[in-house]
Amino acid sequence: MRRQSGGIILVMVMVLLLVSVGGCTRWSHGPPQQRADHVVAHLVEKLDLEQAQQLQLEKIKLEVLAKAAEMKAHRAESFDEMLGLLQSERVDDATLRPLVAGHQARASELIAFFGEKFAEFHALLTPEQRARAAALLQEKRARGHHRCAWH
| Domain enclosing residue 74, as ranges | 2-6+30-143
Residue 37 domain flag: yes
Residue 48 domain flag: yes
Residue 85 domain flag: yes
Domain count, the chain: 1
Residue 14 domain flag: no
Q: Which residues contact 78 (CB under 8 A, 6 or more apart)?
A: 103
26 neighbors 125 (Cβ within 8 angstroms): no
Residue 20 domain flag: no
Residue 72 domain flag: yes
CA quadruple 40, 41, 47, 48: dihedral sign? positive
pTM of the model: 0.70
pLDDT tens-digit profile, the chain (151 residues): 455 555 555 555 555 555 544 444 444 567 889 989 998 998 999 999 999 999 999 999 999 999 988 988 888 888 888 888 889 998 888 888 888 888 899 889 999 999 999 999 999 999 999 999 999 888 888 887 655 544 3
Residue 16 domain flag: no
Residue 116 domain flag: yes
H helices within 21-92, ranges in order? 32-47, 51-87
